[in-house]
Structure 1
Amino acid sequence: MSRFLWGITILFFLSCNSKSFSSKEALWQFLKDEDQGYVQSKNINGYDFTLIYKPTDVLVAQELQDTEDKKQVATLRAKYQKYLYFNLSMGKNNKELLSVTPKNRQEFGAMVNQLAFGMGEKVHLLSPQKDTLELLDYVYPRMYGMTNSTSMLFVYPRDEKFLKEDYLTVVIGDLGTYTGEVKFKVPTQLIKNEPTIQF
């Protein structure tokens, strides 16, 4: 096969494997469909755990708001595509962890401290060889019982060495919920062929 035909074949393959959507809402609809693999849910010991991978363009759309300046889109994509973003939600009976897990004021204070400052010790992103991808940051917005789950965003570097693996595993340590470790396998193909928005 000539180099030209090979290049066309690769482009066709990539275009078939990467989806593009007309709006942020359409992309979110796609991401929330469990059949697509971007969102995974587990119920353990009555606790609900949901993990969703957030593609670059979700972050871009959030910062763009209503403007669609092509130059700004390119700048924001360059900024956000250096990282991997995972949103983790945890709750029980449609309530936040802080509303259902602590049994007294001392446990409540310890859990607040854990959620606000210690999740780097509890949530890990691992390769099949158990190599750990360094957590760069996480965001935990306190909602004070106003939502039906505790939700936080975890940020990791987009390390090409890790993306050569078939999958990565997100491991969530026990947070006093008596669920043990909760694990989610994330196929790297979903990340490498992540969907986009047609800005």
Structure 2
Amino acid sequence: MNEYLKDEDNGYYYKKTVSGVDYVLQYRPTDLLVNQELADKINPAQVDKLRKQYGQYLYFNLSMSKNDQELLSGVSQDKVKFGQMVNELAFGMEEKLHVYTPAEDTLALADFIYPRMYGMSNSTSIMIVYPREDKYMNQEYLNFVVQDLGLDTGDIKFKLDSKALTNEPQLRF
């Protein structure tokens, strides 16, 4: 499934490079999360329960890097800028991430998780969660916007294929 998801033509993987900063947005289908949680302990009742739980939301991974390094590695010389970026990534992303319809109806961010990697990764990754609401999923597409994080990239916009999100791939358990 991972190979299928990484094929940009399938509508689950989006990539842009602006001002030397690489942005990768990847959708995480419900069954991928179910499989991750169950590991090798698969039973049908648990699969159905977790599909209901995770199926209420849209999950995305946003990875950002500059020179194949975490964003914080590039600002480590300036303590003030470093502190501001850590604070923004850990606590302020609800102000920087937006998903809206062509009619500009906005989806409310449900949650985001920014795990600090302390320079041990080649990108800064954030898991982003939005509610899965039919009134938004019936749109032709959704706009996903990452506001400039102080990297002189401007706003980064991705056009998400709503049909692909609605008809996400499933695993056989």
**Above 0.5 in TM-score?**
yes
Larger CA Rg, structure 1 vs 2: 1
Aligned-partner Cα distance in 2 for 1:165–1:36: 17
**1:100 aligned to 63, 74, 80, which one?**
74
Q: Give the unaligned 5+ runs of structure 1.
A: 1-26
Instruction: Provide the residue aligned with 1:6 in structure 2.
Output: none
**1:50 aligned to 8, 24, 33, which one?**
24
Aligned-partner Cα distance in 2 for 1:49–1:154: 14
Letter in 1 for 2:141: Y
Instruction: Provide the residue aligned with 2:5 in structure 1.
Output: 31
TM-score, normalisation: structure 2: 0.98
The CA deviation at 1:103 is: 4.8
The root-mean-square deviation of aligned C-alpha atoms, in Å, is: 0.9
**How many residues are aligned here?**
173
Identity rate, percent: 52
The CA deviation at 1:101 is: 3.7
Letter in 2 for 1:160: D
Write out aligned runs for 1:11-160 (5 A).
Answer: 27-101=1-75, 103-160=77-134
Please identify runs of 4+ aligned residues in structure 1 that moved more than 2 A. none
The CA deviation at 1:164 is: 1.1
Q: Quick check: 99-108 or 38-47, which moved more?
A: 99-108
1:172 aligns with 2:118: no
Instruction: Provide the residue aligned with 2:158 in structure 1.
Output: 184
Aligned-partner Cα distance in 2 for 1:131–1:144: 37
Change (3 A) 1:101 1:169: farther
The CA deviation at 1:37 is: 1.8
Contact 1:101/1:176 (CA < 8 Å) preserved in 2?
no
